[in-house]
Chains A and B, each alone.
Chain A
Amino acid sequence: MTKATDSNDNLADILAQYTCENDSLIPILQAVQQKIGYLPEESIGEISSYLGISQSEIFGVATFYTKFKFARSGDHQMRVCLGTACHVRGGGQIMDEAARALGIEAGGTTPDYKFSLERVACFGSCALAPVIVVDDKVYGRMTPKKVKTILKEFE
């Protein structure tokens, strides 16, 4: 069985959980991304025929929200907070150091698909600024030095 068919099978399972109305679009996109890691092009077609919404409209919605991705991202998501509190307390330096350590820019993924690096506007952990989040784990009171230590945890 090819990989594409696999993802289509997944998709049928997901779609079956949602009612056929416009309100379901964003929850479906979220569920697809949760399962596959991003929104493959063929998934948009499937969702389109299920909901009866044109592909261009779905693409328009998906691109509006920053959470949706259209290409495979890394196994681990490193998200550097650049909210106001983090900015004031040196979040920019943490971002620079993370970019240097991973050898990619914000928004990029390492060639081995191990890490993706993102900037996030605020995690709401401002009191522990600066903050980074790897997958779902929050690291507070960051220093540029700690970036490498954290990366080591994932080796």
Chain B
Amino acid sequence: MNFEEIKRNAIEEWEAFNRLAKPRILIGAATCGRAAGALAVRDKFKAELAARQIEADIYEVGDLGMCYAEPMLEIGVPDGRRVLYHSVTEEMVSELVDSFILKGDPRKDLALCSFGDIRIDGIPAFTELPMIRKQVRIVMRNSGIIDPTNINHYIARGGYSGLAHALAMPPEEVIQEMKTSGLRGRGGAGFPTGVKWGFTRAAQSDVKYMICNADEGDPGAFMDRAVLESDPHAVLEGLAIGAYAIGANYAYVYVRAEYPLAIERLVLAIDQMRQFDFLGKNVMGSSFSIEIKIKEGAGAFVCGEETALIASIEGKRGMPRPRPPFPAHSGLHAKPTNINNVETLANVSEILNRNGAWYAAYGTEKSKGTKTFALAGKINRTGLIEVPMGISLRDIIYDVGGGVLNDKGFKAVQTGGPSGGCIPAQFLDLNVDYDELAKVGSIMGSGGMIVMDEESCMVDIAKYFLSFTENESCGKCVPCRMGTQHLLGLLTEITAGRGKPEFIGLLERLGNTIRSTSLCGLGQTVPNPVLTTLKYFRDEYEAHIVEGRCPALACRAMISYSINLDACISCSLCKKACPVKAITGAKKPAKPFVIDNEKCIRCGMCASVCPVGAVVKKSKGRVPAAA
């Protein structure tokens, strides 16, 4: 079969899929959905439909990105109406079958939005939702819409047309198209993809390698996972296009072991590529040949760094080495190697399907296109979003993300993971792109965005990141190995109430030294969380050090819990929950509930179970020494 025939068949299948000859249920069953209980809901649906002898199709789809509303499912009925339901419980299933599938009532009260062309009174359309309105979905073009295990769905929506276009062009033209698009590496550093490809193309060698970096290690980032689970072919097609452009016949996907579902989807997708002649010898009848292998990571954050990743594929300790030589000249097995991140490659396939100029129409002057972000932390609508570069932080957090959880005050947003920084409220109107983020001391990074409210202690956050990087430093170069230990040590002292005024200057000096003397990107960016919090939240450091007080009431050494007896209803839940029996009191005979501060380990269990909020947290600080 040639590609035109393959495509025709795929479109036919896709159209049949959307014709809704019988009721169709699409369940969001990526990791997020599953964690929220999607598989139990799916099983309940199957049982319910079988019990009532209703013929319907159930499919598992990927991630629409609205993780806060999981588990989600879409029901389509034969008259063409399609409705998305959120926070679906097993109990809701029979109700939905009854009302919508059998009686045709779409249940406005349970619906989140409608899908497709048919509008339904009283239910907003998907594209009108506040979370969706400002998004432009290129990387996520198929996420949650297609069945990720069905290659025909992908092909019908333009998939592999990009590869077909590319193979009809000389490799140099493909690279030129990428340069026109202005796409910059989405793994964090933001190097122009077309230029990078050009370097590897120019390198002379019998063997070259193309690698997809799917070692998404930043805590708080899950864009790559979602794309791999929801649309694996988008990434693999980009990988094949890149291999063609640089002249490689071997490609790897280096994926972290913590993503079993993503690996499962990749294995299946690679198999399907082979069946359709998109892989192996003479791809699509051309002279281009490509083999793709999956390499599973083994748990080392530093392997996200390209030279460490290469060492890991070679079966070595994943330690970075100095560059030059750059992988473009001497990479895997000392051959020219090009490494791109998952999101970069998912863009590539669509850029080659359309064209570079189309992509470059989105974004800002120096940061073209869109960027996915993983919104998490203290924000109402957590999930995965894709917005044009240049959108303001305020738009992302308040419009798309629905603002800070429980209407608390916004304190900061952390971007860029352990290599990034905390951006305070004064920069909410910053237009998010590579350069603007760098100006305020943070980085784009891979796209994690963690929102923090007034209850997040910035010293604690800096300590959190340092404990992560101290653990993940590979130990090869002294500034990073020793520097992270010392930074962490100082931060631990401060949060434990043993900080000294000179620590602040020490942190700054140490941070700047580590930044300028470390070997790889990990070490060079490790001090960012400390330096940005010192810059924008110095008063919090001072409160810890000078007053022995944690303004956010987060550092255990500086807080105490007590029970407000005026509010206490003597339910004794706190007493039952306390793991160290620090709470005494009784309902009958009435004895007030009190927390023994000597015994209390400040775990916060009492506060988390109290139904009336009678457990109060305080940070009094030290009594100032008499002058």
Interface on A for B, CB 8 Å cutoff? 21-27, 29-30, 53, 60-61, 64-68, 82-90, 93, 96-97, 100, 120-129, 131, 136, 138-141, 143-145
Would A141 and B36 be within 8 Å (CB), given that A87-B464, A122-B217, A126-B376 are in contact? yes
Does A125 lie within 8 Å of B220, measured CB to CB?
Answer: no
- Contacts A61-B316, A89-B377 known; 20 new A-B pairs at CB < 8 A: A26-B312, A64-B317, A66-B300, A68-B298, A93-B605, A121-B472, A122-B222, A123-B31, A124-B31, A124-B226, A125-B31, A125-B32, A126-B374, A127-B384, A129-B382, A136-B260, A138-B34, A138-B35, A140-B36, A145-B609
Identify which of B43-51, B183-191, B197-205, B448-456 touches chain A. Answer: B448-456
Does B298 lie within 8 Å of A88, measured CB to CB?
Answer: no
Does B315 lie within 8 Å of A24, measured CB to CB?
Answer: yes
Does A85 lie within 8 Å of B220, measured CB to CB?
Answer: yes
Most chain A CB within 10 A, of B316, B375, B472, is at: B316
Give the interface size bracket for B toward A.
35 or more
Smallest beta-carbon distance A94→chain B, Å: 11
Contact residues in A for B221 (Cβ distance below 8 Å): 122, 124, 126
Does B315 lie within 8 Å of A23, measured CB to CB?
Answer: yes
Does A126 lie within 8 Å of B315, measured CB to CB?
Answer: no
Smallest beta-carbon distance B375→chain A, Å: 7
Choice from A60, A93, A96, A122 contacting B218 with Cβ under 8 Å:
A122
**Bound form: Cα–Cα A29–B295 in Å:** 13
Does B382 lie within 8 Å of A100, measured CB to CB?
Answer: no
Determine the residue in chain A with the shortest Cβ distance to B36.
A140
Does B604 lie within 8 Å of A127, measured CB to CB?
Answer: no
Contact residues in B for A126 (Cβ distance below 8 Å): 220-222, 374, 376-377, 382, 448, 450
**Bound form: Cα–Cα A84–B448 in Å:** 9
Contact residues in B for A100 (Cβ distance below 8 Å): 579
Q: Is B244 an interface residue when CB atoms closer than 8 A count as contact?
A: no
Contact residues in A for B258 (Cβ distance below 8 Å): 120, 122-124
Can you list, as one digit per residue, whether each of B334-363 has a CB less than 8 Å from chain A (1) or not (0)? Answer: 000000000000000000000000000000
Smallest beta-carbon distance B312→chain A, Å: 7
- 23 A-B pairs within 8 Å (CB atoms) are namely A22-B315, A30-B298, A64-B318, A64-B474, A65-B300, A84-B219, A84-B220, A84-B377, A84-B414, A88-B461, A89-B377, A121-B217, A121-B219, A122-B220, A123-B31, A124-B259, A126-B222, A126-B376, A127-B70, A127-B375, A131-B35, A144-B577, A144-B608
Smallest beta-carbon distance B464→chain A, Å: 5
Can you list, as one digit per residue, whether each of B246-275 has a CB less than 8 Å from chain A (1) or not (0)? Answer: 000000000001111000000000000000
Contact residues in B for A85 (Cβ distance below 8 Å): 219-220, 376-377, 382, 450
Smallest beta-carbon distance B445→chain A, Å: 11
Q: Is B79 an interface residue when CB atoms closer than 8 A count as contact?
A: no
Q: Is B417 an interface residue when CB atoms closer than 8 A count as contact?
A: yes
Q: Is B147 an interface residue when CB atoms closer than 8 A count as contact?
A: no
Contact residues in B for A67 (Cβ distance below 8 Å): 257, 297-299
Can you list, as one digit per residue, whether each of B596-618 has a CB less than 8 Å from chain A (1) or not (0)? Answer: 00000001110011000000000
Contact residues in A for B403 (Cβ distance below 8 Å): none
Choice from B70, B375, B452 contacting A128 with Cβ under 8 Å:
B70
Can you list, as one digit per residue, whether each of B298-322 has a CB less than 8 Å from chain A (1) or not (0)? Answer: 1111000000000011111111000
Choice from A84, A121, A140 contacting B35 with Cβ under 8 Å:
A140
Smallest beta-carbon distance B87→chain A, Å: 11
Contact residues in B for A120 (Cβ distance below 8 Å): 258
Contact residues in A for B383 (Cβ distance below 8 Å): 127
Smallest beta-carbon distance A152→chain B, Å: 17
Does A61 lie within 8 Å of B315, measured CB to CB?
Answer: yes
Determine the residue in chain A with the shortest Cβ distance to B66.
A127
Most chain A CB within 10 A, of B219, B257, B604, is at: B219
Determine the residue in chain A with the shortest Cβ distance to B225.
A124
Contact residues in B for A138 (Cβ distance below 8 Å): 31, 34-35
Does B376 lie within 8 Å of A84, measured CB to CB?
Answer: yes
Choice from A23, A83, A88, A127 contacting B452 with Cβ under 8 Å:
A88
Does A97 lie within 8 Å of B605, measured CB to CB?
Answer: yes
Smallest beta-carbon distance A70→chain B, Å: 14
Q: Is B503 an interface residue when CB atoms closer than 8 A count as contact?
A: no
Choice from B216, B315, B377 contacting A124 with Cβ under 8 Å:
B216
Q: Can you list the 8 inter-chain pairs with the closest CB atoms, starting with the nearest?
A: A127-B67, A83-B219, A124-B222, A84-B220, A65-B298, A25-B315, A85-B376, A127-B382
Q: Is B68 an interface residue when CB atoms closer than 8 A count as contact?
A: yes
